[in-house]
Amino acid sequence: MGVDSLDSCYPAKCAYHDSCSGLRELGIREQPRQLLSLVKGLSLAELNDRDVCCGFGGTFSVKYPEISTRLVSNKASNLEQTSADALLGGDLGCLLNIAGRLRREGSAAKVFHIAEVLAGMADGPGIAEPEDEA
């Protein structure tokens, strides 16, 4: 769409998770990275095995929980290796799966949909993290 500038700012080191459907069905790979390069303060780290599934896959995680858990645990480990403050992505199923694993492992990394960062709205707790109760 010819977007070449954004007013958003997110001063953090982030990693981007490529979803299986985005990669294989829609051909989405570099487009999110190009948009994220326009966000002030954001530095992007690449995950090892960035083309590998997170283990959610619709009913896959229910039918094959052991395999699913191993895949998402690997994804969480790869995120930790980047020292990123946040994981970004475009598929809510993937993001919920990864955020849940990170929370269970005690990770401080936040998880956001890419639209939240691009719109300058990534200042809350992130996906699958409870809001502080007052």
112-134 per-position pLDDT tens digit:
999 999 998 887 667 766 555 54
The domain segmentation of the chain, as residue ranges, is 13-118
pLDDT of residue 61: 92
Tally of CA atoms within 13 A in the half-sphere of 17 that contains its CB:
35
- Distance between the two ends of the chain, CA-based, in angstroms? 42
Q: How far apart are CA 56 and CA 71, in angstroms?
A: 9
* Single pTM value for the model: 0.89
Please tell us whether the domain made up of 13-118 is placed in CATH 3.40.50: yes
pLDDT per residue rounded down to tens, the chain (134 residues): 677 778 899 999 999 999 999 988 898 899 999 999 999 999 999 999 999 999 998 899 999 999 999 999 999 999 999 999 999 999 999 999 999 999 999 999 999 999 999 998 887 667 766 555 54
Using H for helix, E for strand and C for coil, what is the string for the chain? Answer: CCCCCCCCECCCEEEEECCHHHHHHCCCCHHHHHHHCCCECCEEECCCCCCCCCCCCCCHHHHCHHHHHHHHHHHHHHHHHHCCCEEEECCHHHHHHHHHHHHHCCCCCEEEEHHHHHCCCCCCCCCCCCCCCC
